[in-house]
Structure 1
Amino acid sequence: MRSTTTARRLRTPAVLLATAALVLGLSGCDGYHATSPSAARSNAKATAEPAAFAQGANGPVDCRKAKCVALTFDAGPSVHTPELLGILKKYHVHATFFTLGKNHVRKHPEMIKDMAAQGHELETLTWSHQILTKISKDEVRKEITEGRDAVYKVTGVRPTLLRPPQGRTSDGVTKVVKSLGMSEVVWSADGADYKTTDSALIEKRVLDKTKRDGIILLHDWVDKTNRGYNGTIAAVPGIISTLQARGYTFVTVAQLLAPGKPVPGKVYK
């Protein structure tokens, strides 16, 4: 049973908002149409250069043939990220990080550099995690561009993928994203780590939901007061090792779509 202190930490406003909205966002009630990774690949040319694919131990990994899955983390980097990077390095896994600009990228630039140097994909979760379907078009543009540019200032590479906070998007939001030359990425499997600190339960949820071409959602945010997603990191080794034993190859989101490329205005799931 969780302690009262742990339960209080989980009832923070941000986590409650995430809990309430995730199901709504994934159901598409805000109005959007999602494209699967396999559909993105099928729209690409039949042949592609090896550089378009993930590099596995035995050469390029073509997700049209291999059983691929993308591991993604939202809301970091944070004090937990170095530990997570160590786990990913141990298992030779590259992940996609949807970062927050204001209180994360800006505060941890060296961590962002380490993530990039280790081959991880760095994208944006916006500047300050405002719900894009609840703000004006100008505010949507500002949230996205400031979050994107925060990563660019550190790495020199401008993100092209956006994860809309809480998975909430709409046709109106998508039009702004398209005008910025970007695509959106939601998810098909998650551990609901915003609801619990039970690492075994988080691991089980992900393993139960993950299928070929899956996009897994987890979080790597915890602050110095230990408020945030405290059960996630310990769940990651089991998730990776079990899925690898099941024949899955971990790739980044961009690699999952290859040889297709993200199309501005598309929402991938």
Structure 2
Amino acid sequence: MFRTRPGKRRGSAVALLAAASLMLALSGCGVDPITPGDARGEAAGSDDKAGDGKAGAGTGAVDCGKVKCIALTFDAGPGKDTPHLLDVLKEKQVPATFFLLGKKHVDRHPEVVKRIADEGHEVANHTWTHRILTDLEAEEVRDELSRTQEAIEKITGRRPTLMRPPQGRTDGTVSEVSRELGLAQILWSVTAKDYSTTDSTLIRQRILDGAQGDGIILLHDIYDGTVPAVPGIIDELKRRGFTFVTVPQLLAPGQAVPGEVYRP
């Protein structure tokens, strides 16, 4: 399907649809997203460093203002395929950002959560039960996020500073609760919609069609077609001159500000 020119146009259409969906989710809610370039620009000339040197938060070797960076992120794990994914990332020396789901994931796979952190990846929050936060009252939003914060801290010794709202849906209430909990909101620029297919070739092509500098890739390490697609995604994007970074590295020397929304 994606091997012909019409297929490539269709792949581009998928990327455009994903971007349009994000715009729709944010429209009318008073949320003004910040791009990675803006985050870096605001910190230019300062002595600030992103992160605290733990779990992939370092900035040292990568200047995304000078090289073509892209952040690989995974939602809703860990799951049965996450250990293999970590093997792939270690072999290819690629850092990633994992937005972890609490119930039936963090609580069932604590050893995998610890491994993610120990191997230098960024550990982030994707709520406790994946409820749509814009449908909830403030206290319910707080419960969804704080339970996952506590579960991750218990395992890794560190509370996440980043979160991703399910379906990218946020509003003023979600932003305010996120600010209270010390969480910046991270959206994305390209997704393979891997929840709708097990075709690894299709997943790979959708990501490659939408990849861009300062981009944030959204995948899920809980679906059968996703992890097999990752080696090909990494190899091709490296061939195109991309440098893989965690989300904090993408924003450095800026820091993700709690409550704010970041999107390429």
TM-score normalised per structure 1: 0.84
Distance 1:136 1:250 in 2: 37
| SS in structure 2 at match of 1:43 | helix
| SS in structure 2 at match of 1:157 | coil
Task: Indicate if the aligned counterparts of 2:162 and 2:185 stay in contact, CA closer than 8 A.
Answer: yes
Shift in Å, 1:265 = 1.5
Shift in Å, 1:90 = 1.1
Aligned to 2:61: 60
1:189 aligns with 2:183: no
Write out aligned runs for 1:232-247 (5 A): 232-247=226-241
Task: Indicate if the aligned counterparts of 1:74 and 1:218 stay in contact, CA closer than 8 A.
Answer: yes
Write out aligned runs for 1:1-269 (5 A): 24-27=21-24, 28-29=26-27, 31=29, 32-46=31-45, 48=47, 60-221=61-222, 229-269=223-263
| SS in structure 1 at match of 2:61 | strand
Deviates more, 1:71-80 or 1:21-30: 21-30
Task: Indicate if the aligned counterparts of 2:50 and 2:254 stay in contact, CA closer than 8 A.
Answer: no
Deviations 1:222-269 (A, max 9, x none): xxxxxxx11101110111010011111000001100000011111011
Task: Indicate if the aligned counterparts of 2:49 and 2:253 stay in contact, CA closer than 8 A.
Answer: no
**Structure 2 CA distance for partners of 1:49 and 1:134, relative to 1, 3 Å:** closer
Task: Indicate if the aligned counterparts of 2:73 and 2:98 stay in contact, CA closer than 8 A.
Answer: yes
Task: Indicate if the aligned counterparts of 2:19 and 2:190 stay in contact, CA closer than 8 A.
Answer: no
Distance 1:239 1:183 in 2: 27
Task: Indicate if the aligned counterparts of 2:49 and 2:254 stay in contact, CA closer than 8 A.
Answer: no
Distance 1:130 1:55 in 2: 31
Task: Indicate if the aligned counterparts of 2:77 and 2:99 stay in contact, CA closer than 8 A.
Answer: yes
Task: Indicate if the aligned counterparts of 1:55 and 1:61 stay in contact, CA closer than 8 A.
Answer: no
Distance 2:48 2:20 in 1: 38
Give the length in aligned residue pairs: 242
**Structure 2 CA distance for partners of 1:64 and 1:252, relative to 1, 3 Å:** same
Sequence identity, in percent?
52
| SS in structure 2 at match of 1:41 | helix
Distance 2:126 2:97 in 1: 11
Shift in Å, 1:123 = 0.5
